[in-house]
Structure 1
Amino acid sequence: MDRRHRDDSADNGGDANGQREKRPRPAPRAISAAEIAEEFAHHDSSVARINNGSFGSCPASVLAAQRSWQLQFLRQPDEFYFNRLQPGLFHSRALVKEIINAADVDEVALVDNATTAAAIVLQHASWAFAEGAFRKGDAVVMLHYAYGAVKKSIHAYVARAGGHVIEVPLPFPVSSNEEIVREFRKTLELGKANGRRVRLAVIDHVTSMPSVVIPVKELTRICREEGVDQVFVDAAHAIGSVEVDVQDIGADFYTSNLHKWFFCPPSVAFLYTNKSSASSCLHHPVVSHEYGNGLPLESGWIGTRDYSSQLVVPSVMEFIGRFEGGIEGIRKRNHEKVVEMGKMLAEAWGTFLGSPPEMCCSMIMVGLPGCLRVSSEKDAMKLRSFLREKFKVEVPIYYQPPKDGEVLEKDGNNCVTGYVRISHTVYNAEGDYHRLRDAVHNLVADGYNCDMLSSK
């Protein structure tokens, strides 16, 4: 372990593995509804904000802690950089290490977001192709549901270096994990055709659009059985939304944003790298003074920038500790409430959920009435903008093309091709979802459809 890590842990009141001395503290008083409202009073109260999944939410107490860190830097930058930054980052990494059950704090690096983490892993894969460790034409497998920026990164880094990219064609709506496992196995077989090897599998833990919880532990196990070299789990939505146990999942690399469901300010994520994997070969794409000293240090000193969002993890833990059951309690209540609200909307609109409740987390997909005629991704964006501007409802909309045999009629009953992705977190109230329900009812009653909406 780098000497600076040992010094940092000592300065920070912890041991060399990130364990802090435990001191008894009085149990915090449970947070009240009024206090929750005050913590999020900076939100636009005129908007029904049911899209926490995109950008997350940061409470006022954590924003105040962030401001304190920013002022410490501005007051005396040299003293901050040389004496406070690394101990503070080490403390945050040590807390993340405990939350995700990593074996060692050096397996955890803090980066800007999951997209940055993907770039780090995919850069490593591209070097392996370029330098001959991987053969040209060997495969990289990713889910069809993969986040758009990650898909583009895979092509930018891996395909250009000679990798053969294959997508797993996952179904939606989806009814069981078995459907996902079956398609994944078939794609791995395709990846191994003609003597190829599958060098990397990129698997989402919680897909973004459409939102589905993927059985990552089982898919990782299948990868090991089928000889896949490395597994990277893109879990941008995971921490604070589903249970994360990186040792149990068993992937080589795992990333999740801390600003989506874990109440950090934008933007901060962690990248976990299993020490038995090629962790020493990973490097931050921005090369700075700590290059070669391990990814955690490389990521913790990439020039003059605002590190405050990475330093407030202790303050986030204090905020979470005010809720019954901590993060597990928040996660459970969010799941139960988003399922309840999803079922309410589906019943009101005469549609259905995009997946069973057990395949959802703090987000759920709900079919929109087919008469709205969502017939393209452009239509989905037009309808989303209209709901925002006309009804003050913020919710993402997903377009799913008609399946074989389904027809998108101009009149009468239509197949469902549009889905809302609703989120639930601590600041949401039932009235937010009632406003969405009523807005859609109004559009249907007035005969609106996407053909009638102007594009901007």
Structure 2
Amino acid sequence: MEEAKDPRNGGDSSPNQVSKKPRTSGLITEQEIHEEFSHHNLNVARINNGSFGSCPGSVLAAQKNWQLQFLQQPDDFYFNTLRKGILHSRTVIKTLINADDVDEISLVDNATTAAAIVLQQIGRAFAEGKFAKNDTVFMLHCAYEAVKKSIQAYVTRAGGSVIEVQLPFPVNSNEEIIAEFRRGLGKGKANGRKIRLAIIDHITAMPCVVIPVKELVKICREEGVEQVFVDAAHAIGSVDINVKEIGADFYVSNLHKWFFCPPSVSFLYCKKASLGFDVHHPVVSHEYGNGLPIESAWVGTRDYSSQLVVPAALEFVNRFEDGIHGIMKRNHEEVVKMGKMLAESWRTNLGSPPEMCAGMIMVGLPSRLRVSSEDDASRLRSHLRECHGVEVPIHYQGLRDGEEGVKDKDGVITAYARISHQIYNKFEDYCRFAELFIQSEKLVVNIGAALIK
């Protein structure tokens, strides 16, 4: 059934009542921001917005209203409200990311679901003999672990191979990334292999770096890569997105990370020219075969409220000066300022120049913490949470052969904190973290000793 003719879409589904433009008067105050996030645990320095995001109270109230509408009369909600509401959300996203057509936008639970959609069709092509056994999927070494597991589940089991390109970290410039990417593509095409899919992060998760995604997609096209999937889990709400300029076949971003939606909801953009690929939602319902946006809009009885509050999230960001662009600018400037403060306090370094970060930045931890494995990094994160009320991810940076690494006065820096800044954060959140490693040598040694017990 064509979406425009489906009676479940209701009447006019255009989002005219929710403007993309921010307000010019009656802007949100700092007190109102505090009230919007008053449900947060005030005893925790929450400097990890990147993992799960944050949803303001006004959007949570809108979500509750959608949930009540369903519970009051679920049949009417299904036949007369749900599809129309989801189409409304998709239309808002279409405008935000400069897509050509709302049919290019599907709403799914998260970026992991979107990766499964893209990788399942690649796996089917290998299994059905459409791709040769030595053809490959190409990705960055720091791709999200769930994406790597999806490749293992859908591609390598079907006979495909995988090439990972090692990106430098700490990183100094886009040119370093582009050079390594070109070298990796050359390796991927060796011995006549075809690269059937390239997976490129827009903002890598750990360590976090903003990738020159438009340039890398262009290189893929020049080198004959068949499909390009951009995993932009952290992008919407933290960097500008123009999917037509980026030029990828598939692009996913989580709306619950930096766009203030409740967990969990993401959009998957499929370029219209790429809709001929055999893409389907991994949960098969009676909408199978009606196109990915329709398949994704109904995967059985469940709570769809997080997908329906996208217009409410846009209303929230429009209460800020310059809307989402003002928020992005504020978060970028503040996280750079806080990152520099921490690095100066600890006499360490930043993992990238400021122009290669958005709302997150990597800060080197003192080498005397003696973090020597991913397990150590995990234990340090738990220790900071449980003993000091600081929530921040820790990255272990081991040395590759021939590398000297970045050093502080005591040795090689092997661990980095990924700090985030969102509008609810206060200067005191970062001071609490800073003081843990500067108030006394004894405290640092004690924390380091706790890691290696």
TM above 0.5, one fold?
Answer: yes
Does the 8 Å contact 2:233/2:254 carry over to 1? yes
Give secondary structure in 2 for the equivalent of 1:260.
helix
Offset, 1:213:
0.4
SS at match of 1:384: helix
Q: Which of the numbers 39, 44, 54 marks the counterpart of 1:42? A: 39
Q: Percent identity?
A: 63
Given the alignment, which residue of 284, 287, 290 partners 1:287? 284
Amino acid at match of 2:71: L
Residue number in structure 1 paired with 2:364? 367
Q: Answer yes or no: is 1:147 the counterpart of 2:110.
A: no
Deviations 1:314-342 (A, max 9, x none): 11111111000000010011001100100
Q: Report the Cα distance in structure 2 between the residues aligned to 1:177 and 1:54, rounded to whole angstroms.
A: 24
> Secondary structure at the residue paired with 2:411?
coil
Task: Specify every segment of 5 or more residues in structure 1 that has no aligned partner in the other structure, as ranges.
Answer: none
Gap change, CA 1:359 and 1:430, over 3 Å in 2: same
1:165 match: secondary structure: strand
**Which has the higher mean CA deviation after the structures are superposed, 2-11 or 386-395?**
2-11
CA contact (8 A) 1:53 1:260 kept: yes
| Amino acid paired to 1:344 | M
- Is residue 12 from structure 1 mapped to residue 9 from structure 2 by the alignment? no
For the Cα contact (< 8 Å) 2:348–2:364, is it kept in 1?
yes
Deviation track 1:223-258 (CA, whole Å, cap 9, x = no partner) reads 000000000000000000111110000000000000
Q: CA deviation at 1:278?
A: 3.7
User: How far 1:68 moved relative to its partner?
Assistant: 0.4
Q: Verify the 8 A CA contact 1:201 1:228 in the aligned structure 2.
A: yes
2:61 matches 1:64: yes
CA contact (8 A) 1:93 1:110 kept: yes
> In 1, distance between residues paired with 2:80 and 2:381?
47
Q: How does 1:115-154 map to 2 (within 5 A)?
A: 115-154=112-151
Match of 1:422 in 2: 419
Does 2:2 match 1:2? yes
SS of 1:190's equivalent? helix
Q: Which runs of 5+ in 2 are unaligned?
A: none
Q: Which amino acid aligns with 2:201?
A: D
Seen in structure 2, the aligned counterparts of structure 1 residues 112 and 429 have a Cα distance that, compared at 3 Å, is same
**C-alpha distance in 1 between matches for 2:21 and 2:190:** 59
CA-CA distance at 1:440 after TM superposition: 2.1
Instruction: Give, as a single letter, the amino acid of the residue that structure 2 aligns with 1:370.
Output: S
Counterpart of 2:226 (choices 226, 229, 233) is 229
Cα distance in 1 for partners of 2:243, 2:165 equals 23
- Distance between the aligned counterparts of 2:168 and 2:306, measured in 1? 37
CA shift in 2, pair 1:449/1:212, >3 Å: farther
Structure 1's 451 and 429: CA in aligned 2 closer, same or farther, altered over 3 A?
closer
Residue of structure 2 in register with 1:431 after alignment: 428
Aligned to 2:302: 305
Give 1:51's aligned residue: 48
Structure 1 position 378, deviation (Å): 0.7
Native 8 Å contact 2:8 2:81 kept in 1: no
One of 163, 184, 188 as aligned partner of 1:166: 163
Q: 1:2 is matched by which residue type in structure 2?
A: E
Aligned ranges 1:53-452 → 2 under 5 Å: 53-279=50-276, 281-403=278-400, 404=402, 406=404, 413-442=410-439, 444-448=441-445, 452=449
Alpha-carbon deviation of 1:29?
Answer: 1.1
Contact 1:374–1:450, Cα closer than 8 Å, also in 2: no
Q: 1:54 to 1:79 in 2, by over 3 A?
A: same
Which stretch shows the higher mean deviation, 37-46 or 383-392? 383-392
- 1:4 to partner: Cα distance: 4.5
Report the alpha carbon displacement of residue 281 of structure 1 after superposing the two structures with TM: 2.1
- How far apart are 1:402 and its partner, in Å? 2.9
Deviation of 1:407 (Å): 8.6
- 2:22 and 2:8 map into 1 onto residues whose CA distance is 24
CA pair 23-334 structure 1, distance change in 2 beyond 3 A: closer
Cα separation, 1, equivalents of 2:308 and 2:179: 42
Q: CA deviation at 1:2?
A: 1.1
- Offset at residue 448 of structure 1 (A): 1.7
Amino acid in structure 2 at the alignment position of 1:266: P
CA contact 1:280–1:294 (8 Å) conserved in 2:
no
What is the Cα-based RMSD across aligned positions, in Å? 2.3
Task: Measure how far apart 1:416 and its partner are.
Answer: 0.4
Secondary structure, aligned partner of 1:66: helix
Provide the aligned length of Structure 1 versus Structure 2.
452
Once the two structures are TM-superposed, the CA of residue 98 in structure 1 deviates from its matched residue by 0.3
Q: Secondary structure at the match of 1:364?
A: strand
